[in-house]
Each structure stands twice: as structure tokens, then as C-alpha cells.
Amino acid sequence: MKFCLNIITGILLLAALAQPKLAAAEPQSVADITGTVTFFYYDQINEAAPFYGELLGLQKTMDEEWVKIYRITETSSVGLVQQGRGFHEVAEDKPAMLSMVVSDVDAWYEKLKSAGATILKDLPPAEAGPVEGRAPVRGFVAQDPGGYTVEFFTWNASQ
């Protein structure tokens, strides 16, 4: 009887070892994702377009009557969509925020402030050296003509 149990245990063990192994929570490949576009919706798309094209100086890569796309980097863009087109509708609450990592946050702050853009959160003064408890970024938040928040920040040197 003991001999039979050992054989059965051995067979079950071999059967378990022969099963294909499941990969241990490996991240899926995202090689086919080549970029992102964040879309914002406007009652008047032509009022928002100058903010991105002229004030921010972003390159327009698509210009249709109802949608305009501006390149932020080689792999990311912001799209403006006219109310009544696209997937969403204009909403009074603007829960989305566009955040842009910039190399000179002070220059961006001065540019937007001098152009009269609405600043929702001012740029804090630059601090010398790493400070314990300091946020990992230094930046400010503006509002575009449609009411969306646009954050400009730079990573702190200690990051």
C-alpha cells in the first residue's frame, strides 16, 4: 500500500511539473503604445486654440474645424475638441489636468503671468539645496480659457 501511495504521489508530482508554468505577474508589453493625447472639450474651440498654439508655442499637428491637436513632446499631445463632437461633452466641472514637465519653470511662469493668463497657484520661491519635507516638484498651475488646469513643473534637484 505504501509503495502504491509513493507511485501515485510521484505521478501527481510529475504531472504537476509537466503543466505549463504561468508567468508570475509580468507586466504586459507596451511596445505598441507610441504616444498619448489628452483631449479637452470646449464650447468655443477657437478661443482655447491660441492659448496652446500662440502662448505656449506648441506645434499644431492637426487642424480640423472641430478638433485641433498640439504636440507637447515627440510622444505626447493635447487635443482640443469642439462641443458636440468627439466622445465627451463640455462639463462645468473640469476634473482633468494637463501637467507638463519643463526645464525652466521660472521662465514659463513669467511668460504666462506677463501674458495675463489666469494663475491658480503661484510658483513658490526657489530654495537653495534639498529641504526635508519639500515637495518633489516645483511648479505652478494656470487655467486655460476653457477652465482646464494646466500645471507646469520641474523636478527638484534632489529627486
Pick the CATH number of 35-155 from 3.10.180.10, 3.30.420.130, 3.40.50.970, 3.40.50.300: 3.10.180.10
Cite the DSSP H helix spans in the chain. Answer: 2-18, 45-50, 105-114
Mean pLDDT along residues 115-132? 82
DSSP class of residue 133 equals T
Joined grid coordinates for residue 100: 507638463
pLDDT digits (tens, 9 = 90+) for 67-116: 999 999 999 999 999 999 988 888 888 888 899 999 899 999 999 999 99
Single out the residue of 108, 8, 14 nearest to residue 58, CA to CA: 108
Asked whether the predicted pLDDT for residue 144 surpasses 60, the reply is yes
Mean pLDDT along residues 10-36? 51
Q: Which residues fall within 8 angstroms of residue 37, CB to CB, at 6 or more apart?
A: 69, 76, 77, 78, 79
Single out the residue of 131, 128, 78, 73 nearest to residue 103, CA to CA: 73
**Residue with more model confidence, 33 or 17:** 33
Q: Using CA atoms, how far apart are residues 53 and 80, in angstroms rounded to an integer? A: 11
Mean pLDDT estimate for the chain: 80
Asked whether the predicted pLDDT for residue 32 surpasses 50, the reply is yes
Torsion of CA 150, 107, 55, 48, to 10 degrees: 10
Mean pLDDT along residues 24-29? 54
Asked whether the predicted pLDDT for residue 27 surpasses 60, the reply is no
Return the number of other C-beta atoms located less than 10 Å from residue 98's C-beta: 17
Mean pLDDT along residues 127-143? 74
Question: Domain coordinates of the chain in residue numbers?
Answer: 35-155
Mean pLDDT along residues 107-130? 88
**Residue with more model confidence, 135 or 21:** 135
Model confidence, pTM: 0.67
Q: Using CA atoms, how far apart are residues 45 and 66, in angstroms rounded to an integer? A: 7
- What's the pLDDT at 155? 85
Q: Using CA atoms, how far apart are residues 119 and 111, in angstroms rounded to an integer? A: 11
Asked whether the predicted pLDDT for residue 146 surpasses 70, the reply is yes
- What's the pLDDT at 129? 47
